[in-house]
């Protein structure tokens, strides 16, 4: 049982207030109880999403002038983290069924349907299209700039070196954007 | 050109092109904490991040609407706990969004049930 809140309120014992957990698998219960509590206790920052961003998303979703209590904000942030966990475990089931070790886009979409968030499917498809186009565009632009640069360095003299430095800066940004995407990705399959 | 400047510039560019606000790196950390997950394809990571944003919007809006007919000015924790209990789509959140009761009422209900404090 969690300790009593300052104001005298207490979060009820874990199972006392929970209605039937028909939608929650045993696995998920375990996940929430063990992983969640443990992680939150040890390294809460790892499983939390940035407060400023969560707050902004909430504010933009609600009518103007509506206040959101600090407690509500924190709760929504935690709910979002749990959503990620739930979606991941659901998507992973689909991947495992297909005997794949890598979670792919299809698995996530299937998970959304399974979790009864069909309303997300269309916006997600559109967002993914835009994202892929964006990546492709950047890649092409970056390659084009590299080609242009190669042409220039072949024929250029020193007085154009300042222009090159600007191109280089853009190039590095492009490259780092790509690398940033893959940073920390141990086994990315696309 | 300092290292920091370049990183900030990259983040701004990356965010704009993807149309998401939540950092994919953080979402990935959470996903990786799930047992049995070995690797995550970049598109899957993007979709999960975007879905989480949609989820935050959806949760906030549903919780807000659930209030009584009168003009609502504030979204409170209780709104969230209520929506988790009442809407099937948010049932998976009941564990982390429990309703709150006064400590003395809870202790009284324990006594009535004849249990020693649950922990």
Burial A94-108 (b: 16+ CB within 10 A, else e): bbeeeebebbbbbbb
When the pLDDT of each residue in chain A is averaged and rounded to a whole number, the result is 74
- B95 and A33 in contact by Cβ < 8 A? yes
Q: What 3-state class would DSSP assign to A68?
A: strand
Which of chain A's residues have a Cβ under 8 Å away from the Cβ of B26?
49-50
Which of chain B's residues have a Cβ under 8 Å away from the Cβ of A186?
39
Confidence category of residue B19, pLDDT binned at 50, 70, 90: confident
Closest CA relative to residue B59, chosen from A119, A147, A6, A37:
A119
Task: Evaluate if residue A158 carries a pLDDT over 80.
Answer: no
Query: pLDDT tens digits, residue range A106-116?
Result: 999 999 999 99
Distance CA A73, CA A70 (A): 5
Reported ipTM: 0.77
Q: Are strands B100-102 and A9-11 parallel, antiparallel or unpaired?
A: antiparallel
Closest CA relative to residue B83, chosen from B95, B93, B96:
B93
Task: Evaluate if residue A190 carries a pLDDT over 80.
Answer: no
pTM of the entire structure? Answer: 0.67
Q: What is the pLDDT of residue A34?
A: 53
- B118 touching A (Cβ < 8 Å): yes
Which of chain A's residues have a Cβ under 8 Å away from the Cβ of B89?
116-117
- A188 and B22 in contact by Cβ < 8 A? no
Task: Evaluate if residue A70 carries a pLDDT over 90.
Answer: yes
Q: What is the pLDDT of residue B75?
A: 94
Task: Evaluate if residue A42 carries a pLDDT over 60.
Answer: no
Q: What is the pLDDT of residue B93?
A: 95
Which of chain B's residues have a Cβ under 8 Å away from the Cβ of A61?
56-58, 60-61
Closest CA relative to residue A72, chosen from B111, B77, B15, B74:
B77
Task: Evaluate if residue A165 carries a pLDDT over 90.
Answer: no
Instruction: Give percent of chain A above pLDDT 90.
Output: 45
Distance CA B85, CA A171 (A): 51
Which of chain B's residues have a Cβ under 8 Å away from the Cβ of A172?
6
- C-alpha distance from B115 to closest chain A C-alpha (Å): 12
Task: Evaluate if residue B3 carries a pLDDT over 70.
Answer: no
- B118 and A71 in contact by Cβ < 8 A? no
Question: If you measure CA to CA, which chain A residue comes closest to B37?
Answer: A92
- As a whole number, mean pLDDT of residues A120-139 equals 93
When the pLDDT of each residue in chain B is averaged and rounded to a whole number, the result is 82
- Would you tell me which residues 139-158 of chain A have a C-beta closer than 8 angstroms to some C-beta of chain B? none
- A104 and B58 in contact by Cβ < 8 A? no
């Amino acid at each position: 049982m969690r300790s009593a809140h300052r104001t005298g309120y207490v979060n009820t014992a874990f199972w006392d207030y929970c209605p039937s957990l028909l939608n929650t698998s045993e696995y998920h219960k375990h996940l929430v109880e063990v992983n969640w509590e443990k992680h939150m206790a040890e390294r809460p920052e790892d499983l939390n999403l940035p407060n400023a961003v969560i707050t902004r998303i909430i504010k933009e979703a609600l009518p103007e002038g509506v206040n959101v209590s600090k407690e509500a904000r924190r709760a929504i942030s935690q709910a979002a983290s749990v959503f990620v966990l739930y979606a991941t475990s659901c998507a992973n089931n689909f991947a495992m069924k297909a005997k794949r070790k890598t979670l792919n886009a299809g698995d996530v979409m299937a998970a959304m349907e399974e979790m009864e968030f069909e309303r997300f499917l269309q916006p997600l498809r559109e967002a993914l299209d835009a994202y892929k186009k964006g990546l492709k565009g950047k890649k092409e632009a970056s390659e084009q700039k590299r080609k242009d640069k190669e042409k220039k360095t072949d024929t250029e003299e020193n007085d154009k070196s300042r222009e090159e430095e600007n191109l280089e800066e853009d190039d590095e940004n492009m490259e780092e954007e790509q690398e940033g995407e893959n940073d920390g990705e141990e086994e990315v399959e696309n | 050109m300092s290292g920091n400047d370049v990183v900030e510039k990259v983040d701004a560019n990356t965010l704009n092109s993807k149309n998401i606000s939540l950092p994919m790196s953080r979402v990935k950390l959470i996903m990786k904490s799930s047992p049995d997950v070995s690797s995550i394809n970049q598109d899957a990571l993007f979709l999960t991040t975007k879905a989480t944003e949609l989820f935050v919007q959806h949760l906030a809006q549903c919780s807000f609407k659930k209030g009584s007919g009168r003009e609502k000015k504030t979204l409170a924790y209780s709104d969230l706990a209520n929506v988790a209990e009442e809407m099937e789509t948010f049932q998976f959140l009941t564990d982390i969004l429990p309703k709150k009761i006064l400590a003395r009422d809870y202790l009284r209900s324990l006594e009535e049930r004849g249990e020693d404090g649950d922990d």
